[in-house]
Amino acid sequence: MPLAAEQILEALDEQQREAAMSLHGPTLILAGAGTGKTRTITHRIAYGIALGDFTENRILALTYTNRAAGELRARLRALDAGSVNVKTFHAAALAQVDYFWQQFYSMNAPRVIESKANLISKAGEALKLRLDANTVRDLAAEIEWRKCNMLSLDEYADLISTRPPLSTLSSSVALSVQQKYEDLKISAGQVDWEDVLILTLGMLRAEPRALNHVQQQYRFFTVDEYQDISKLQQELLDVWLGDHSDICAVGDPNQTIYTFAGATSEFMHSFSSRYLDANVVELTKNYRSVEPIILAANKVVAQNQTMAALESVRGGGASLKIENFETQDLEAKAIAASIGGLLIGGAKASQIAVLYRINSQSEALENALSAAGIEYQVRGGQRFFNRQEVTGAVRLVRAEAMTNPTRAAFESMSAVARSLGWQAMPGDLQGPAREKWDALNALVDIADELGADATVAQLATELDERARSQHEPQREAVTLSTVHAAKGLEWQNVYVFSANEGYMPISYATKPEQLAEEQRLFYVAITRAKDSLWLSWSKRETSDSQRERSASRFLQLISPEFS
């Protein structure tokens, strides 16, 4: 039996209820970390439907990752609002391109490349350059930044000298690689995910019939993580909205950490000036973390606070440690030993995470955890989606989606997995054979999560989105992750590794706006922890190193002893 409108509101606190009841016109929800952002927006949507103010099939809820979209869908189903369209910006745009392209241009829509990295590497090879993984990753982020800021290559060339350095590449070489990347992509008749947004925007502006269709279909918009919207995404959102202003934007200005990829909180800060009748609601009651963690988080952003400080609903005693060590290896070994103690005490490995600033820092932690016999997983889609059996399975799913797109997702995925050696139970498999089974089983689980009505075409899109957004399946293991990749996640026990100057903030952050972002990144790291938080730093990289390192300036904000 469907929930009554008042029943839906009963699950919310006073602040959340105020936000949920703001149904008409522009609404901005400033939701601090752990304050029930997802609960609030899903209950707001369900409440509007229950009252009859919202029409379920005319709502579009937009997210930035497939994981967030899946969470929204699951919660909306639980509130009897399962037919609401929940998509990432990219998936919503791609659906529109696929729907209209043949009608207006009498050809199939361009195919989205599986990975920028592969094409960037090919561009480097064409220019007789050998690009390492870090350089390729930096170039991919730079391409994303350029396109999200709607800059042509010529416009970008005029300001490339003001951009952060791309590894050891000179500005001219970096520009040449990007030009070759575009040439290779165009010659193959392909587009990247940012191109999908650009194509959608151009198509809707050029084709009034398509624009009218979209604006008739969608009337009520919800945008999650609004602090991360880019100029390109905002332009597309404005086109989707047209003359209407039924938009609910939700986010936390203290968690703007993706400006290197084109994200900006500018649109969040200017929301009230763009919409003079906007209703702005703040959520400040943190339900995630115990009080010492919240007090530390508030201190970190106190100087640049743009909304009220967080209040811990949980309370709780001492659960925050700041430790220092002679070397980074000793620091990693101490973390491994501490994690071992937690596991012996009954903690789940999947509820423990070690966070760090850059990917290369994981090596010391991997060595220490391996030596201690502790299973771990490095967060990031590349490791999972680059496994041979996974790439093979995804390729087969994609082929099935082209030939038989309406086949049930679970049926198709199960058949594909079985063709690659998977069976329903792992039996006595060990080592690499068990790892292969786990990987294929994770793909079957993804298909199952989509629901009985999902098609193989939807599954193919889901897998592509997960690979693009580095949303890899989780298993019962300690998580190692950069802070950027940890955003939006939470664990009971969190370790922040190498909270040193040079890492936090990163050495190349010298401008005030860059340092402010690094400070927000540190805030994000702290607020991932529910029950315990361990912050550590080391005096030297290795025992042979002559150069002493200092504690992060951000630790000074938490404890005066580091000043």
**By three-state DSSP, how is residue 95 classified?**
helix
Q: For the residues of 467-504, what is the DSSP string, one character each? A: HHTT-PPP-SSEEEEEHHHHTT--EEEEEE---BTBBT
Q: Whole-angstrom Cα distance, residue 534 to residue 337? A: 13
Residue 562: the pLDDT is 57
The confidence score (pLDDT) of residue 1 equals: 53
Output the tens digit of pLDDT for each of the chain's 563 residues. Answer: 567 888 999 999 999 999 999 999 999 999 999 999 999 999 999 999 999 999 999 999 999 888 888 889 889 988 998 889 999 999 999 999 999 998 888 888 899 997 899 999 999 999 999 898 889 988 999 999 999 999 999 999 999 988 888 878 899 999 999 999 999 999 999 999 999 999 999 999 999 999 999 999 999 999 999 999 999 999 999 999 999 999 999 999 999 999 988 999 999 999 999 999 999 999 999 999 999 999 999 999 988 777 889 999 998 877 899 999 999 999 999 999 999 999 999 999 999 999 999 988 999 999 999 999 998 888 864 467 878 899 999 999 999 999 999 999 999 999 999 999 999 888 887 777 887 898 899 999 999 988 888 999 999 988 887 776 667 777 788 999 999 999 999 999 999 999 999 999 999 899 999 999 999 999 999 999 999 999 999 999 887 777 889 999 999 999 876 54
**Is residue 185 classed as helix, strand or coil in its secondary structure?**
helix
Cis peptide bond N-terminal to 164, omega within 30: no
Residue indicated by tokens 């100087």: 303
Cβ–Cβ under 8 Å, residues 183 and 2:
no
Residue whose structure tokens are 């561009």? 123
d(CA 471, CA 184): 27
Contact 333, 368 (CB under 8 A): yes
Residue-level pLDDT at 228: 93
Q: In Å, how far are 382, 394, 460 from 385, measured between CA atoms?
A: 5, 9, 13
Give the pLDDT of residue 470. Answer: 61
pLDDT of residue 467: 77
pLDDT score at 462: 87
Helix H, strand E, coil C: the string for 149-177 is CCCCHHHHHHHHHHCCCECCECHHHHHHH
User: Which has the closest alpha carbon to 251: 234, 238, 239, 276?
Assistant: 234
